[in-house]
Amino acid sequence: METALVTGASGGIGLEIARVLAQNRFNLVLVARRQTELNQIKDELIAKYGITVKVIAKDLSLISSCEEIYKELQEENIKIDVLVNNAGFGDYGFFDESDWNKDYRMIELNIASLTFLTKLFINEMTKRKHGRILNVSSTAAFQPGPLMAVYYASKAYVQSFSEAIANELKGKGVTVTALCPGATVSGFQKAASLESSRLVKGRKLPTAKEVARFGFEAMMKGKTVAIHGTLNKLLAFSVRFFPRDLVSAATRFIQEKTKEKN
């Protein structure tokens, strides 16, 4: 049986990807900050699917956590066949008013740790000429994002990085897939204070389970870019045909919070 490592596995898309992998007979290494939630998920997946599950409670906004995870798995001789870089978060508001410490943690988690974990595990995959990497990007990757400037920029990095190394790895037995969900039912909106924005409010959003299944299937097919939802695909590709200022203005309009009616 192959083994998959999933970051941000305690909830949302990460948890649902872990469940899909378990259903498809992958052993798992689950990484998130909260030990209690991880242990509950471990018990659930072992009971349902009879797989092996290892949990590692680490804060990946601390870059040192990446090497600590890698060394722990090396010591236990656990080889990773599938790496799912899902951990990440966003924040809402004007950049000039934002908390720098939160911005910095976002960059460390969304960009630096994703890149370092990929670096740590990719060499073993290429030596074995076998491996899959699923980086959770976003439809946010395709345009600037006023009111969420750092988050959108971080996902643009994930997208560009994923597509570039996917090209580099052709013929080496390793695939890289960038999963690009749009707004999804998960804890992300609440954490990013997005619940009353036009992006989310009043919309019927896809579930994290639907996005996870879509991402898993795209990864197994070796697709490089996997945009969930027909409308999201149209929007992602259409922005390249419009002036950049107009794209930024439209994105800001969608991101802005709606006013409550009396």
List the Cα angle 206/236/6 in 5-degree steps: 55
Q: What is the DSSP string of 183-234?
A: S-BSSHHHHTT-TTBTTTTT--PPBHHHHHHHHHHHHHHT-SEEE-SHHHHH
Beta-strand pair 53-57/82-85: unpaired
Phi and psi angles of residue 173, each rounded to the nearest 5 degrees, phi first: 80, 10
Please return the burial class of 259, using the count of CB atoms within 10 Å of its CB with bins 0-12, 13-18 and 19+. Answer: exposed
The CA-CA-CA angle for residues 131, 177, 170, to 5°, reads 60
DSSP for residue 244: H
Q: How many CA atoms lie within 13 A of 193 on its CB side?
A: 10
Euclidean distance between CA atoms 181 and 218, whole angstroms: 12
Q: Is 151 a catalytic residue?
A: yes
Distances (CA, A) of 3 to 36, 57, 73, 76, 245: 22, 18, 11, 13, 45
Catalytic one of 49, 70, 92, 151: 151
Contacts of the segment 239-242: beta carbons below 8 A, 24+ positions apart? 239/142, 239/143, 240/142
Cβ contact 226:177 at 8 Å: yes
Residues classed as catalytic:
151
